[in-house]
């Protein structure tokens, strides 16, 4: 393998390793996906996951033998070498040399990336974050994930644990978070948090919650029910999304104080479904808490462009742009030039 083989013209493969499935694709230097495949996985069986990744990659390499490298994204803390999975919340990886093991199976250089980092990188390179060298990505899913790009570089941190943005404390002694702490941003701004907020309103104000409950039709309230009710003009549901947005903006203001991004890209299911209802309140909440207003630039908050492909695309591009000194070269087979 030579440095030149990792050019921007080359094709790379991105793999998004989720809890129960992996998605893989061949990605061009301009972020296009030329081929895709998927595999089901068992989060309790790391060996099976690695075999499935290798199998999916082999399928794609068979179609595009000119592929030069592989990037794999997964939830968890990734070591500064970008090959070791220090800790994963959903898979039994603890200080696991994932990159080296995959490279051995695959026979190509492999780089490991945190999934939120990968998605952010994709948005930065090809999505709504293009050109924003100082950018924060927030992913509003079950939890609140994130990534920070400073001066065109992903911030990974001393322990590979940077951009655990959902665990910034925004309310001292506030809501319990899944991490055991109190007042984490994720406990106010995530799908789980929105559902919990709605369910508690249904207890505290059953009359006011009636339209949401009617939509839920006997199911436990979710963010989707809140959004649907808000779209029908229900003031309580609308109020919940405004409150949700304000918390989002509160955390963004703290991010502005730390890394001063020019842009915040908000992805994840809630952003896709209700971004138009949430983001104005988020911006209002952000501005209301911004220090030095009038003497400094004010960031924009936008929704993400790439949806579920962001992780795959970002991982692939991360592999393309990696420093060859860092990549874990595949040992088994010669790397195609």
The interface with a copy of itself within residues 113-172 (CB under 8 A) comprises 132-134, 148, 150-151, 153, 155-172
In the window 53-72, what residues touch a copy of itself (CB under 8 A)? none
Could you say whether residue 173 binds a copy of itself (CB under 8 A)? Answer: yes
Could you say whether residue 282 binds a copy of itself (CB under 8 A)? Answer: no
Burial 190-212 (b: 16+ CB within 10 A, else e): bbbbbbbbbbebbeeeeeebebb
Q: What is the DSSP string of 5-55?
A: GG-TTS-EEEEEE-SSEEEEEEE-TTS-EEEEEEEE--TT-HHHHHHHHHH
Parallel, antiparallel, or unpaired for β 12-17 and 70-74?
A: parallel
Select the residue interacting with a copy of itself from 210, 280, 289, 336 (CB under 8 A): 289
Could you say whether residue 211 binds a copy of itself (CB under 8 A)? Answer: no
Could you say whether residue 44 binds a copy of itself (CB under 8 A)? Answer: no
Identity of the residue, 79 or 330, whose beta carbon is nearer to a copy of itself in the bound complex: 79
Identity of the residue, 141 or 178, whose beta carbon is nearer to a copy of itself in the bound complex: 178
Burial tier of 155 (Cβ tally within 10 Å: 0-12, 13-18, 19+): middle
Burial 72-103 (b: 16+ CB within 10 A, else e): bbbbbbbbeebbbbbbbeebebeebbbbbbbb
Identity of the residue, 98 or 162, whose beta carbon is nearer to a copy of itself in the bound complex: 162
Identity of the residue, 292 or 334, whose beta carbon is nearer to a copy of itself in the bound complex: 292
Could you say whether residue 201 binds a copy of itself (CB under 8 A)? Answer: yes
**Closest separation between CB of residue 239 and a copy of itself, Å?**
9
Could you say whether residue 292 binds a copy of itself (CB under 8 A)? Answer: yes
* Cβ partners under 8 Å of residue 200, min gap 6: none
Could you say whether residue 297 binds a copy of itself (CB under 8 A)? Answer: yes
Identity of the residue, 1 or 290, whose beta carbon is nearer to a copy of itself in the bound complex: 290
Listed ranges 57-65, 109-117, 256-264, 308-316: which one lies at the site for a copy of itself (CB under 8 A):
256-264
End-to-end CA distance of the chain: 6
């Amino acid at each position: 393998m030579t440095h030149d083989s990792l050019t921007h013209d080359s094709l790379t493969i991105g793999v998004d390793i989720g809890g129960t499935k992996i998605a893989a694709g061949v990605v061009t230097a301009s972020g296009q996906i030329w081929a895709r495949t998927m595999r089901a996985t068992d989060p309790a069986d790391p060996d099976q996951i690695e075999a499935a990744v290798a199998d999916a990659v082999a399928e794609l390499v068979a179609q595009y033998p000119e592929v030069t490298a592989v990037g794999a994204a997964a939830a968890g803390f990734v070591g500064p070498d970008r090959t070791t999975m220090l800790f994963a919340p959903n898979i039994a990886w603890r200080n696991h040399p994932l990159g080296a093991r995959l490279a051995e199976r695959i026979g190509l250089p492999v780089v490991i990336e945190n999934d939120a980092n990968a998605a952010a990188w994709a948005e930065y390179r090809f999505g709504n974050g293009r050109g924003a060298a100082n950018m924060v990505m927030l992913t509003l899913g079950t939890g609140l994930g994130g990534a920070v790009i400073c001066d065109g570089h992903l911030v990974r941190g001393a322990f590979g644990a940077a951009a655990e943005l959902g665990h910034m404390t925004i309310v001292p002694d506030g809501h319990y978070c899944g991490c055991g702490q109190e007042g984490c941003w994720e406990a106010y701004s995530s799908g789980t948090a929105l559902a919990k907020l709605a369910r508690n309103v249904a207890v505290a104000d059953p009359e006011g919650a009636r339209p949401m409950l009617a939509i839920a039709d006997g199911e436990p309230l979710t963010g989707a029910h809140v959004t649907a009710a808000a779209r029908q003009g229900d003031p309580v549901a609308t109020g919940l999304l405004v409150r949700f947005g304000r918390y989002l903006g509160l955390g963004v203001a703290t991010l502005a104080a730390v890394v001063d991004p020019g842009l915040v890209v908000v992805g994840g299911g809630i952003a896709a479904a209700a971004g138009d209802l949430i983001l104005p309140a988020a911006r209002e909440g952000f501005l209301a808490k911004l220090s030095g207003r009038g003497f400094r630039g004010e960031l924009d908050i936008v929704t993400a462009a790439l949806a579920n492909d962001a992780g795959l695309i970002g991982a692939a591009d991360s592999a393309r742009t990696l420093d060859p000194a860092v990549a874990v070269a595949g040992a088994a087979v010669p790397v195609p030039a």
